[in-house]
Structure 1
């Protein structure tokens, strides 16, 4: 029998390393997770519902509630009743978030540049295309019966 490392382990390790370094740069901002979620909410300030954000990120509604609750507890976002549909809540950012998000975006840019140094634009395009194809491959099997034997 041979050992096969799942591709997901490599991606998870890379993601953990990325987030660990990102936390070092942003630790003074009182946020240690959900960086990208916060940037999306800020970008769409007041025009995005929890449901729309969950759909955008591929998260279920209960996970999205927990994420928004966490960002709310840390003083970054708040919910506002949608005047056009009182059943919906629009997501808004606080002044604290408006100050933090440019630093977070700058940290993303710095981390992305560091992570991709010495990698050509062509290689990065291939990498992104391969990731997209892998995602599409996995998405396509979700609707099919599993033929994988263990």
Structure 2
């Protein structure tokens, strides 16, 4: 008789529990683990969470984007993005200007303080990710990153 925690063969011949054999479950759990580490780093820098940093990093890259373009690029609902931007503006990390092409459109950009936070969080994020992935050899990390990017690109091509 086998125990519930004992590895079992799956339909594709790979040994493992039902959870570890399910790619969707694994991807979700890995994203949760990395997201939790990144949320901690973001909060330590005074941000609400990783979404604040994603928005701040995007608006600090020197490319002018409308709020709608930012929402689409990050996969954030535009109403949620407005709340995030409002908080970043209140904290002095972002300013909004009007588009020269359409005065109804706002263009967010990082302030010098926002750019400084992006740099600090990026360093802390890399350290947190390296800590989380310490058991994975660097060559395997590169493959892992490449495979994840392939999945993202395939999704973008279908959209």
Structure 1 position 74, deviation (Å):
2.0
- The number of aligned residues is 136
Q: Report the aligned-residue RMSD.
A: 3.0
Ranges in structure 2 where 5+ consecutive residues have no aligned partner? 5-16, 20-24
Ranges in structure 1 where 5+ consecutive residues have no aligned partner? 144-150
Relative to the length of structure 1, the TM-score reads 0.70
Aligned twin of 1:67: 84
Q: Does residue 106 of structure 1 match 2:123? A: yes
Aligned twin of 1:17: 36
Query: Of the candidates 44, 53, 61, which is equivalent to residue 43 of structure 1?
Result: 61
Once residues 85 and 150 of structure 2 are traced to their aligned partners in structure 1, the CA distance between those partners, rounded to angstroms, is 30
Relative to the length of structure 2, the TM-score reads 0.66
Aligned twin of 2:107: 90
Q: Select the structure of larger CA radius of gyration.
A: 2
Q: Where has structure 1 moved over 6 Å in runs of 4 or more?
A: none
Structure 1 position 30, deviation (Å):
2.4
